[in-house]
Amino acid sequence: MNNGKTAVEFRNKLIKWWKFYGRKFPWRETEDPYKILVAEVLLHRTRAEQVVPVYSAFISEFPDIFSLAKSSKDKVMKLIYPLGLRWRAELLYEMAIEIMRRGGRIKADKNWLCSLPGVSDYIASAVMSFAFNKPEPILDTNTVRIIGRLTGMRVRDSSRRSRKFREIYLYLMDRKTPRVFNMAMIDLGALVCRARTPLCDRCPLKNWCAYTCTSCL
């Protein structure tokens, strides 16, 4: 990708594919930063399909920060017990308490988000993108795999924290609709650009890709 026109074509192809094939999840139907923050905590190390019923029950019981903060850790634990990882219940409760202490409003500020109990750079980036539509790269296992295959760069565990991967992602990103772009990248990695059995013949980005899978030979 050596010019702006190519990058625009890349984005258009990706987003066009996503509008047809993108996955539907309840947390994608809102831009409420509280609900997106809850979803991102629940999604940690857990398949999205498993999270759906727990997320729906959680939001029904705790529709806002105030209702979560005035509850108890035990009640939160009972709701998310099916997902395991006990620390998530404590984290969600402590986050709610801290947000209420700060005035009860989640700010569109990455540093502010990262200062909340247990909020990682990834979770903060996700909230910035999905709630506030900010051009924040979402570097996870799926998206770094895509970038690695597009460019021919080797992907390591540290790639999610790589400045180079971040710079490439920012170059590719649609600055007008970063929220949609990030969801499209995540879904492409989950559905097409898979780790072991990539579906290269179905990929909307194959004309830009440096990767050659065995099924393409």
Q: What is the pLDDT of residue 68?
A: 96
Q: What is the pLDDT of residue 45?
A: 83
Please identify which of the residues 140, 174, 187, 211 carries the catalytic annotation.
140
| 140 annotated active-site | yes
- Residues in contact with 58: Cβ distance below 8 Å, sequence separation at least 6, in sequence order: 38, 42, 79, 80
Check: CB of residue 184 under 8 Å from CB of residue 17.
yes
Q: What is the pLDDT of residue 217?
A: 42
- Tell me which of 3.40.640.10, 3.90.550.10, 2.30.42.10, 1.10.340.30 is the CATH number of domain 32-132: 1.10.340.30
Count how many residues are written for the chain: 217
| 122 annotated active-site | yes
Q: What is the pLDDT of residue 185?
A: 97
Please identify which of the residues 34, 40, 55, 136 carries the catalytic annotation.
40
Closest CA to 151 of 171, 174, 175, 168: 168
| 121 annotated active-site | no
Q: What is the pLDDT of residue 177?
A: 94
Q: What is the pLDDT of residue 87?
A: 79
Residue 122: what are its φ and ψ, rounded to 5°?
-65, -50
Mean pLDDT of the chain: 91
Please identify which of the residues 9, 90, 121, 122 carries the catalytic annotation.
122
Tens-digit pLDDT profile for residues 132-152: 999 999 999 999 999 999 999
* Per-block mean pLDDT, blocks of 10 residues, the chain (217 long): 72 96 97 97 90 95 96 89 80 94 96 94 96 96 94 90 93 93 97 94 93 60
Check: CB of residue 160 under 8 Å from CB of residue 153.
no
| Domain spans in the chain, listed from the N-terminal domain onward | 4-24+135-216, 32-132
| Cα–Cα distance for residue pair 152/148, rounded to 1 Å | 5
Architecture of domain 4-24+135-216 in this structure:
Orthogonal Bundle (1.10)
